[in-house]
Amino acid sequence: MPTVTIDGETIDVSGDKPLLQECLNMGTELPHFCYHPAMSAPANCRQCMVEVGTPVRDRETGELKLDDEGNPEIQWMPKLMTSCTVQVTDGMVVKTHRTSEKAKRGQKDTLEFLLINHPLDCPICDQAGKCPLQIQAYKYGPEGSRFEFRKVHKPKRVKLGPRVTLDAERCINCTRCTRFTEEISGSCQLTISERGVKNYPITMPGQPFDDPYSMNTIDLCPVGALTSTDSRFKARAWEMSRTPSITTLNARGSNCYYMVRDNLIMEVVPRQNMQVNEYWLPDEERVGWAYERFNDMRPAHGPELRSDGELTPVSWERATDAASKALGAVDPSEILFLGSAHATVEDNYLLKRLAEALGADAPRYIPHIDAGHDDDWLRTDDRTPNAQGCERLGIHPIDADVVRSRVEAGEIKAVYVLDDDPVGAGLFTEDQLDDLIVVLHYYNTTNQTLPVTDVALPAAMVVETVGTYVNDHGHAQTVRPAKTIKEVNRTLMMATGKSRPDMHGTPFDRWHNDDNQVDCLPGWEVLPMVAAHLDIDLSYKGPKAIMAEVSEENPAFAGATHEAMGLQGVRLEDVGEPA
């Protein structure tokens, strides 16, 4: 294994990564803009410059030449080298800005150049606070500027496409965005236009930047040149708390951060997980409605009961009591339990336990398949996050024809739905459910089953609960609450604190304020309440304990404890026919 000496510290390196990556891996920060580990290194920002030397070898023998003190003689490259393009060779000696005045000066000079035509509108820039240019200019840049001329003016507020807005003046031409469309997404929609100091990235004339992964360029952009049309100017970087989690609009479970302020999800940004989504996130997971469903579309009241034909708010105690009475009023064989591929493994497991305890048929789930949506990357035909988790629990897709004919025949008297919308999904019509007792755990007020629901129980969504999802490749991942709910729940409170690197997030995020809190409960809290009214004991200390039991009992979940899943998840064994 080759060794390389960086600032006097000798380390083993793999040799297949550029010097910059090796430095970053060993914890030596080198300022850089254009380099990204997933893409080619164009070395155009000229920021990561270091001094590089290689040991001198005798031409004849190939032996290392030694100096008078017996140390290998080093031949230094005459120019500063961009570390992103230097392939590490054995015995290489590197001096970064920490030990080399020349490298330090080189990095400072480049930053001075980068800033001369940059508008420096940080006070109104969305990138401020998380901006590599801003951060690195403070750390490595000059104290001031010697540039006393008019800055170059370029197009601003350019709508590149439906989701991305360009401010060309802020652009530093690192070409990360154009390389993303060329090398990663393959749409080749962006290119650099104009020449010299006037250049900026743009699409072909008349072509929108509608790449389904276009918003990744916003995250790649090391300045505020590319911004989200949807969330620009809505919240500053330091006002939002950042919670690591996963996205739930398809079965891939791409890792993300939910950016929250005052219990509103402001933005969804990708989180690196090399086993799932690498660095990327499809646009569909982060455009308006993808996160607004966590905010505006939530129920305004807590649980409701239908009385005199109207849904009327009641307490959770009364609501769960009513739900249990509904289940107790009919023969267990006449109850249809619908699990959900939207819900966590924990909630589905409790529902299954409840059905078993009552002696009813095992729950089924409604598949949400959008054929043709799969792109062999991060989008799947399955538009739910946990179908695989249901299957592994032994909860299978519902046979629509069979269940419809049973409803028609009057064989089903009560329907208990966990986090889904049977009417909206086209499983039943409103008329079919009209005469039945319907208990519904639901997320959004747009749920079309609500008009025929007798007991409506608002359920905590992915951003409010603790639980487990299994993606289509069998990767089990836990989620943590990004925002708080109205009810006081110790498990969730603890998890909220732990989920953020800085415990409770930024002081600008008034998460403890009850504005925007939804009066909902996670399934793993409501289902035991319902069961308790039926004298069934489903009490657990929390989702962690449920998962511990599931992973213990069910070989399809072997090893999937919350501790093991952590922030990166675990890949479950494929056990063939699930239990």
Q: Which residues contact 557 (CB under 8 A, 6 or more apart)?
A: 345, 392, 476, 547, 550, 551, 572
Can you say whether the dihedral through the CA atoms of 163, 165, 170, 171 is positive or negative? positive
Q: Can residue 579 be called a binding residue for another protein (CB under 8 A)?
A: no
Rounded Cα–Cα distance for residues 469 and 559 (Å): 14
**Both structure tokens of 36:** 């990204």
Nearer to another protein, 49 or 572 (CB): 49
Instruction: Say how many C-beta atoms besides its own lie within 10 A of residue 247's C-beta.
Output: 27
Stretch that binds another protein, among 103-111, 286-294, 358-366, 395-403 (CB under 8 A): 103-111
Q: Can residue 117 be called a binding residue for another protein (CB under 8 A)?
A: yes
Q: Can residue 153 be called a binding residue for another protein (CB under 8 A)?
A: no
- Residue whose tokens read 């009385």: 307
Nearer to another protein, 116 or 400 (CB): 116
Q: Can residue 103 be called a binding residue for another protein (CB under 8 A)?
A: no
Are 485 and 407 contacting, i.e. CB atoms less than 8 angstroms apart? no
Of the candidate residues 64, 124, 188, 197, the single one contacting another protein (CB under 8 A)? 197
- Closest to 545 in 3D by CA, of 395, 389, 346: 346
Q: Virtual CA dihedral for 73, 79, 82, 85, nearest 10 degrees? A: -70
Of the candidate residues 1, 59, 149, 431, the single one contacting another protein (CB under 8 A)? 149
Are 498 and 509 contacting, i.e. CB atoms less than 8 angstroms apart? no
- Closest to 560 in 3D by CA, of 345, 268, 395: 345
Q: Which of residues 378-437 bind another protein (CB under 8 A)?
A: none
Rounded Cα–Cα distance for residues 52 and 60 (Å): 24
CB 115, min distance to another protein, A = 9
Q: Can residue 18 be called a binding residue for another protein (CB under 8 A)?
A: no
CB 79, min distance to another protein, A = 4
CB 148, min distance to another protein, A = 8
* Cβ density class 268-289: b for 16+ within 10 Å, e for less: bbbbebeebbbbbbbbbbbbee
Q: Can residue 498 be called a binding residue for another protein (CB under 8 A)?
A: no
Nearer to another protein, 27 or 149 (CB): 149
The counts of H helices and E strands in the chain are 15, 25
Binding track over 71-90 against another protein, x by CB under 8 A: -------xxx----x-----
Rounded Cα–Cα distance for residues 108 and 59 (Å): 38
- Cα–Cα distances in angstroms (integers) from residue 449 to residues 166, 293, 434, 460, 526, in the given order: 42, 17, 10, 18, 19
Q: Can residue 43 be called a binding residue for another protein (CB under 8 A)?
A: yes
Q: Can residue 488 be called a binding residue for another protein (CB under 8 A)?
A: no
Stretch that binds another protein, among 45-53, 88-96, 239-247, 297-305 (CB under 8 A): 45-53
**Both structure tokens of 233:** 């100017």
CB 121, min distance to another protein, A = 18
Q: Can residue 54 be called a binding residue for another protein (CB under 8 A)?
A: no
Rounded Cα–Cα distance for residues 345 and 246 (Å): 14
Q: Which of residues 258-277 bind another protein (CB under 8 A)?
A: none
Q: Can residue 187 be called a binding residue for another protein (CB under 8 A)?
A: no
Of the candidate residues 1, 58, 63, 195, the single one contacting another protein (CB under 8 A)? 195
Q: Can residue 199 be called a binding residue for another protein (CB under 8 A)?
A: yes
Nearer to another protein, 42 or 313 (CB): 42
Instruction: Say how many C-beta atoms besides its own lie within 10 A of residue 532's C-beta.
Output: 15
Rounded Cα–Cα distance for residues 318 and 299 (Å): 18
Number of residues that bind another protein (CB under 8 A): 33
Q: Can residue 278 be called a binding residue for another protein (CB under 8 A)?
A: no
Of the candidate residues 113, 237, 397, 575, the single one contacting another protein (CB under 8 A)? 113
Q: Where are the alpha helices (DSSP H) in 370-414?
A: 387-393, 400-408
Residues pairing with 521 in the sheet: 459
Nearer to another protein, 120 or 330 (CB): 120
**Both structure tokens of 121:** 């509108």
Find the length of the chain: 579
Stretch that binds another protein, among 52-60, 192-200, 359-367, 494-502 (CB under 8 A): 192-200
Q: Can residue 194 be called a binding residue for another protein (CB under 8 A)?
A: yes
Rounded Cα–Cα distance for residues 552 and 561 (Å): 9
Q: Can residue 144 be called a binding residue for another protein (CB under 8 A)?
A: no
- Closest to 171 in 3D by CA, of 208, 129, 216, 125: 125
Q: How much is the CA Rg of the chain, to the nearest whole Å?
A: 28
Of the candidate residues 11, 56, 192, 297, the single one contacting another protein (CB under 8 A)? 192
Are 548 and 448 contacting, i.e. CB atoms less than 8 angstroms apart? no
Nearer to another protein, 100 or 254 (CB): 100
Rounded Cα–Cα distance for residues 336 and 361 (Å): 7
Nearer to another protein, 53 or 522 (CB): 53
Q: Can residue 152 be called a binding residue for another protein (CB under 8 A)?
A: yes
Of the candidate residues 5, 44, 275, 445, the single one contacting another protein (CB under 8 A)? 44
CB 393, min distance to another protein, A = 51
Stretch that binds another protein, among 13-21, 40-48, 262-270, 543-551 (CB under 8 A): 40-48
Rounded Cα–Cα distance for residues 154 and 152 (Å): 7
Of the candidate residues 47, 277, 384, 453, the single one contacting another protein (CB under 8 A)? 47
Stretch that binds another protein, among 42-50, 291-299, 412-420, 460-468 (CB under 8 A): 42-50
Residues at the contact surface with another protein, assessed by CB under 8 A:
42-47, 49, 78-80, 85, 106, 109-110, 112-114, 116-117, 146-147, 149, 152, 172-173, 191-192, 194-199
